Amino acid sequence: MWQLLAIVIGGVLLFYWFALMFSIWCWLQVIFCLCQLQFVRATIWFSLGSGMLFWWMIADIDFDTWLRGSAVIVSLGVLATFVRWRKKQQAMQAIPTMPVWTPPKPPANDNRLVTFSLHAKRES
């Protein structure tokens, strides 16, 4: 009988331990994704983290309200990602194109060997 009670209490404690670790993991992922400018992922982790926070605080927020709020937050992340992508595209279009490569001109002496002689005869 005591073993069954210990298993049930251990399972409940394990459940709450994993819920706490998942909450911490969600908020750390929000910070890491924002540092890497991954806005959509950050908003998804933020929605999960805030949902876990509401669950821990026993707030009167039902699942449908949380889901709609999460959809709005993720939409803001999508807009931020689109703005970042658009600015990057505009910066890439502002870079001038490379000029057409033209081959170098041949040298004036046509690569002929020039010889100088110290014993040249004078013509006079």
36-61: per-residue pLDDT in tens? 988 889 999 999 999 898 888 887 78
Domain spans of the chain? 7-94
pLDDT at position 58 is 81
Amino acid identity at 107: P
First and final C-alpha spacing in the chain:
131
pTM metric for this prediction: 0.65
Place of tokens 């890491």: 32
C-beta of residue 45 within 8 angstroms of C-beta of residue 30: yes
Helices (H), 2-62: 2-35, 39-57
CB-CB contact of 61 with 14 (8 Å): no
Going residue by residue through the chain, which has 124 residues, state the pLDDT in tens, using 9 for 90 and above. Answer: 778 888 889 999 999 999 999 999 999 999 999 999 888 899 999 999 998 988 888 877 888 888 898 999 999 989 988 999 999 998 888 777 777 788 887 666 666 666 776 776 666 5
Residue type, 111: N
